[in-house]
Chains A and B, each alone.
Chain A
Amino acid sequence: MSALLALLAGAGAGAYGFRTARRLSPARRYLVGALLGTVGAVVVSVLTGGCAYSPEVDAAQHVLGIAVAGGIGLAVASGTSVVLASAKGGRDAGSIGSDIRTGTYRLGWWWPWALLLPTIVILVVFLYIPAVQTFTLSTKLVRLGAPRQIEVCLANFSELLTPNPWILVILPLVAVGVMWGLALWKRQARLGSMSLTAATALQPFGIVVLLLALYYMFNGGPRGYRGIYVNTLVVSAGTVAGGMILGLAVAYLAFQKVRGMTVYRTLLIWPYAVSPPVAGILFFMMFDPTAGIIQHLFELVGITFPNYREDVFLARFAVIAASTWKILGYNVLFYLAGLQNVPGDQIEASVLDGASAWQRFRYVVMPSLAPITFFLLITNLTYAFFEVYGTIDYLTRGAPAGKTSVAIYEIIRVGVENRDIGRGAAQSVLLFLAVIGLTVWQFKQSESRITYGGGG
């Protein structure tokens, strides 16, 4: 039953993934897509011995197995579609290289491959092989130095999720449905109508539904992922939002022509030279309940500052503050560069038109900074997801009671410190999927909102 559903999921996802292959008629398109998706799902099922569909494992694993089959189907079909499209070249080339005219290398077909070889070798050795190994390890119980390994199929994943299979099936469908519906509504609404305003205002609601759905899909128990999920959301959102807003604010101030501005600008960039663990140590010392300067300052005015390591809110705040401070210089640097490129004539024009300082900032400066903002959003998210490990390790070590243990910290804690390599790998895969999801979403969002000036 589950195996059949998995094949259907593979076929359906394949058909969806292949829908953009414009060379074929719609019916054929879906048929080929479904076929490709099914083949993908079958190959994976055969390779894993169909372990996720066996009656012995719990229902959550069946759902996961079906989802994996669907994901593989989608990947195979859309991958094939993209490859086919770019192989054909020309204006049919889908999203990649749409402006490239067809052409050939004079030296022969192998010439581009020869040029690509060094990159490919590096990618294979340092990215693809470790990635494939991570996927393999995530389905096992593995420890360094153990005489054997045990296959556990998707158990490393399913234990992170709620054991109720219906929640796992229904919530993602609801979330996707809501997001889809909202997007559709917005697209169909007439320009300037009330309906469009409402649809636009409600767009963020889709994200909220998705985040909530994920919250309930994760297991809240000790082995579950709900706590880590919440920590990661709070710390990443706090760090990215704090870092970028403060970065822009500070850059805007530092951009003003005041005496000694080069000194200010140089000093502002310094925190970036500090490594994340050092940022952690600095804040650890500052906020230390016994010897810290913050405690001392509060005592001067007669307030006992609570121990941040025992207080969930303060502990997260300290982690966010340290991470934000560390990345601030980087953001300031890029925003300063961006501000120098804001077209002066537009500013002048807006001044002549009687725009206030805030209006100038909001309607002229911010849109010009959109490409930089987008770039910073990605680098800041990368930072918030991956580099806060050092800061957290020195600042809170995940305390109190694991409330500041974010995804990357937990991966290292489980996989390296506890030597539970399979579970660590499973969490890596989860983080990988999350980052892919976020990246896709960001690009979808930004395509409509960012102009880089000029064509392209």
Chain B
Amino acid sequence: MRYKSWFALFVVFALMFAACGDSTDETTPDDGGTDATAAPGTVTTIDIWIAFADGPRLNYTEARADEFNAAHSDYNVVVTAFDSYNTVFEQAQLALEGGNPPEIIHFFEAATQEALDTVDADGNPIFKSVTEAIGGRTEILGEPVILDDVVSAARNYYTVDGEFYSMPWNTSSAIMFVNQDILDAAGVGEIPKTWADVDAACEKIMAMADAPKGCITWPNHSWFVEQTLGQEGVLLANNDNGRSGRATEVDLDSQGMIDYFEWWKSLDDLGYYIYTGVQRDWDGTNTAFQAQEVGMLIYSSSDTTVITETGTENGFNVVAAPMPYNGDMPYEGNLIGGATLWLRNGLDSVTEDGALAFMNFFSNPANAAEWHKITGYIPITEAAVQLLKDEGFYDESPNSLVASDQLAAAADTPAARGALLGNFVAIRDVITAAAEDMLVNDIDPKQRLAEADAEAQQLLDEYNSLFGG
């Protein structure tokens, strides 16, 4: 008896600790690129946190950091990798709250509004506009400033109140990859352009004797929903998608949204669409495409190179094409996705210049072109595009040009620019949850979207009550 009671107390507190305890993992920076050349004491360390922990993209970043460190002996850029945008966002916010925050943080597009709004304990913004920090200079520490040369799609998305707050880096768009061999076998002459084309192609593909498991797939990620709204010219939020003023109303049950969800559900009901069962499932959808279980994959252009090469290894031809759109509505434009580099506020001028120099070096034409080649993210500056064209890169890799072309064709309208929205990450979850409910539990899209709309509106209202003016 006597020790049992104490044991009970202990268990209760242990559980409480587990429930309430701080769940943040102490993340130790991995020391990629620390081979500094100058003596300690004179070297300024610049920490950069990125959301890419996979080999090629992390290696690329570390290699650029090493080059920069070699060229600027008084700086030491240290790259720390996290496994997702969400994680880097969480960890950065916790570090900013009371830790050791990095100088440069890699934030995804959905966090733009929150990055602009977030303040530190004293009420100062945590990030400084890179335009303001550059202050009209054309060169910093010998590195040419590339900000004015950024391609229009990224410029349109990331320009808030007329200026860049963050430095564009990895920028992609949603495009479609088709297994040309399956399409040929099914007698689909032309790669589908509209939803109706997709329906027709799927009918042919699934009618084959050795039909694949399904016809098409894409990750259940809100980004594709947003892409569709851009194509349809439908706004996700009021005040011009949050571009002419803070968004205060979301609209998840617009007709454009319902049309898309109904089309999606019809594909699923017919067995044309393969749902992997996991939200934001980039791996599972890609695997299904590579295993030739589907003939078409709507995906991010960020993996164009890998998808094309892996397809070839697996013995089929991958052709990239623009993302199919709703043929019943005039096409406005696809939007970008990806992330930018944010500069922390309150740095001393030496550190700040180092950080700015690195950001500009990181996306200089040669680096941006190289980045495009190994991934499929679009070349971020016009100079990089020109460089790639001069090299003849697109003659041998036509798939890599699709995303850039698609973005260049987009109209500069609020819908096609994409929404700026508070609490966007959580609202995206509401959208994917609604889609999953619809696909898995066979729920009427219209009704489910109305529920989602109320839920998202509450999230936005709460956000605005905390952050709004």
Contact = CB atoms under 8 A, between A and B. Distances in A.
Contacts of A399: 277-279, 436, 440
A78 to B, nearest CB: 13
Contacts of B42: none
Interface in A127-177: 127, 130-131, 133-134, 141-150
B20 A428 contact: yes
Interface of B is mostly: helix
B466 A443 contact: no
A123 interface: yes
B347 interface: no
A443 B16 contact: no
Nearest to A306: B277
B426 interface: yes
A308 B275 CA distance: 11
Nearest to A126: B17
B34 interface: no
B114 interface: yes
Interface in A105-124: 123
B426 A416 contact: no
A95 B4 CA distance: 10
B51 to A, nearest CB: 14
A290 B293 contact: yes
A402 B119 contact: no
Interface stretch (A21-29, A261-269, A432-440): A432-440
Given A145-B114, A401-B441, A411 B19 contact: yes
Interface residues of A, number: 63
B70 interface: no
B20 A123 contact: no
A144 B97 contact: yes
Nearest to B458: A223
Contacts of B465: 141, 150
B394 interface: no
B5 A95 contact: yes
B90 A149 contact: no
A257 to B, nearest CB: 34
Interface stretch (B6-14, B196-204, B409-417): B6-14
Given A411-B19, A439-B8, A143 B275 contact: no
Interface string B252-284: 000000000000000000000001111100001
Contact of B2 (A97, A142, A288, A439): A97
Nearest to B96: A145
Contact of A385 (B3, B15, B293): B15
Contacts of A123: 13
Interface string A427-453: 010011001100100010001000000
A149 B278 contact: no
Interface in B68-122: 86, 90, 93-94, 96-97, 114, 117-120
B135 interface: no
Interface string A403-420: 000001001100011111
B21 interface: yes
B118 A145 contact: yes
Contact of A412 (B3, B23, B440): B23
Contact of B466 (A131, A147, A223): A147
B203 to A, nearest CB: 22
Contacts of A397: 278-279
B30 to A, nearest CB: 19
Given A412-B23, A432-B16, A147 B467 contact: yes
Given A307-B276, A307-B277, 14 more contacts: A131-B20, A143-B467, A144-B97, A145-B96, A222-B451, A291-B291, A308-B277, A386-B19, A397-B279, A402-B433, A419-B426, A420-B462, A425-B20, A439-B15
Interface of A: 95-100, 123, 126-127, 130-131, 133-134, 141-150, 222-223, 288-291, 307-311, 315, 378, 382, 385-386, 396-397, 399-402, 408, 411-412, 416-420, 425, 428, 431-432, 435-436, 439, 443, 447, 456
25 contacts: A96-B2, A98-B2, A99-B2, A123-B13, A127-B16, A130-B21, A141-B462, A144-B97, A145-B93, A145-B96, A145-B120, A147-B123, A150-B465, A288-B284, A289-B276, A290-B291, A290-B293, A315-B277, A396-B277, A396-B278, A397-B278, A399-B440, A418-B423, A435-B12, A435-B19
**Which 4 A-B pairs give the minimum distances between C-beta atoms?**
A309-B277, A145-B118, A310-B277, A146-B466
